[in-house]
Amino acid sequence: MVTDREAGVIVVILCVLLTFFLRALVSKPRGPYPPGPKPKFLVGNLLDFPEANAAEKYLEWGRWYNSDIVHITLLGKHVVVINKRRIAEELLDKRARIYSGRMELPTLKAVDSLGWEYNFAFINYGQEWRKRRRMCQQHFNRQASTIFEPIETQRVRKMLSAFLHSPEKFDVYNKILSVSIPLDIMFGYDIASLEDPVVRASTQGLEIGGPLLLPFGSLINVFPFLRHIPPWFPGAVSQRNAAQTRQLAQEMKRIPFQDLKERMAKGQTSYSVIGNFLEKQSRVGSSQDDESLDILSDIAYTLYGGASDTTISATSSFLYLMATNPDVQKKAHAEIDALLGAQRLPEFYDRPSLPYIEAMYRELMRCTPPLRLGINHLLAEDDVYGNYFLPKGSIVFANIWAMTHDPEVYENPDRFMPERFFKENGELNDDDRVLAYGFGRRVCVGKYVASSTMWMVIVSILACFNIDKAKDEFGNDIEIDDQYLDVSPAWYDSCTPILHALAKDSLSFSHKMPFKCSIVPRSDVWRSLIKEATTET
């Protein structure tokens, strides 16, 4: 017997097939497009999409077709994947005016939306996006972002203290660090555990509403008219999930803002971006600049949403790479000891004096980029690259993993080798662009905070701890494999079956498979320095 949901899905699929059958009859190709797998009737390359390791598969296609740029179609949508850095810089950087769009998602614009309209990372290029970008540049440029260094230092040292007590829970403390820094920066909000109500609301919201956020994660995003179907209609799962997600989003926005106002009333606030704005607003006795406050709130939740998976991925990869590369760790220890002499914990002003640590940061982000395929860019008008025609409306991905593992640029690209970032004279080379932060006008707005946070994580853990493979009951090393989970977040499996592969390919984070490692203080001196630093804060 067919259930209501199955009946609704069947009806929608029939609408999909009919729509694209009619489109196929009247449309005329304007190629030549870049090469790629031959599309099938109606569904295009839907069945060609890789089930795993999409970045590697796109690179394989590029080699198969002898092209550094490949093209596929999905239910009438053109998708272009760039495998070479020089092409990404030419199109996404130099032609940023037409490559800075985002695919507009009807699930975000519908009347009963997700409540995620605040995330300007997904706002299409235009006036509203530019307002938010300008404010980000004001607060998060290279110089302005240094004001957040005390927050980053304090949060990292809390993680060091946690490592002293329960090092086996490093994954938990890693997650706490990743979500606590953006909320502390924007609101002065203190997260002590993953059971915090803001974290719970965010996690549940992503699990329920995540598929609706993806370009192909809901049929509503392919056929906007479907958003008018009422939630009670059989198969209208997206509408029901959107309503629940909206409630969770409202909680996520309400809790830290209310907490900030209550602390301000008691005079118990530390520096935060929104707290500083409210104090200035209070001093002049005006609330007319509500638009700026709304924009700052949008930025706050955008930063929070962007920080979680990326910081978790990078820190986990760092611990794995240290446990499996003892020679690299030994060199790092030597450089740190020569500077600090086990007299104090690292500070941000030490960064220029620790070139090997800087090279380790670059190599970490090169070797294991958290987002192997950058977030999509939408092409605003027809374009030509070489002999290839790129049609307006194309969804363009930068294959960051392929670029950072290009053997023409990086010898032995799969090896973790910080030395590759040094000149023959021992100075750092000029290869300092972190491709993981993206391209063009859509480059990560919080890249300077992200960079400083990861540097402080790396240097602090290395200064204080030895990281090694864990031991079994017989004292033997527990080996760590090199496998990564290259999948979308937890909500990926809740996508509709026909769009399963599409959703996975649209947003795929790279996380190290769970592993065990040993994290032990290098000496009682370092243990004491951690305790002193965390007692003071």
- Which contacts qualify for 490-496: CB closer than 8 Å, 24 or more apart? 490/206, 490/207, 490/210, 491/206, 491/207, 491/208, 491/209, 491/210, 491/211, 492/210, 492/211, 494/207, 494/208, 494/210, 494/211, 495/211, 495/214, 495/217, 495/218, 496/9, 496/211, 496/218, 496/219, 496/237
Instruction: Give per-residue burial for 332-342: e unless 16+ CB within 10 Å, then b.
Output: beebbeebbee
- Provide the 8-state DSSP code for 90: I
Structure tokens at 35: 């090469």
Q: For residues 353, 355, 360 and 365, what is the CA-based torsion angle, rounded to 10 degrees?
A: 90
The closest alpha carbon to 314, from 58, 512, 45, belongs to: 512
Helix (H, G, I), strand (E, B) or coil at 517: strand
Distance from C-alpha of 400 to C-alpha of 162, rounded to nearest angstrom: 33
Distance from C-alpha of 359 to C-alpha of 373, rounded to nearest angstrom: 23
Instruction: Mark out the alpha helices in 349-499 (DSSP H runs).
Output: 355-367, 400-404, 447-464
Q: Cβ(360)–Cβ(333) under 8 Å? A: no
- Residue 318 has φ and ψ, to the nearest 5°, of -60, -50
Q: Cβ(85)–Cβ(409) under 8 Å? A: yes
Distance from C-alpha of 79 to C-alpha of 398, rounded to nearest angstrom: 11
Q: How far apart are the first and last CA of the chain?
A: 63
Which secondary structure element, helix H or strand E, spans residue 74, and what is its range?
Answer: strand 69-74
Strands 69-74 and 377-378: unpaired
Strands 465-469 and 395-398: unpaired
Judge whether 444 is annotated as a binding position: yes
Distance from C-alpha of 87 to C-alpha of 397, rounded to nearest angstrom: 11
Instruction: Mark out the alpha helices in 368-404 (DSSP H runs).
Output: 400-404
Q: Cβ(180)–Cβ(153) under 8 Å? A: no
Handedness of CA 260, 266, 269, 273 (dihedral sign): positive
Q: Which residues make up each annotated binding site for heme? A: 444
- Going by the annotation, the residues of the binding site are 444
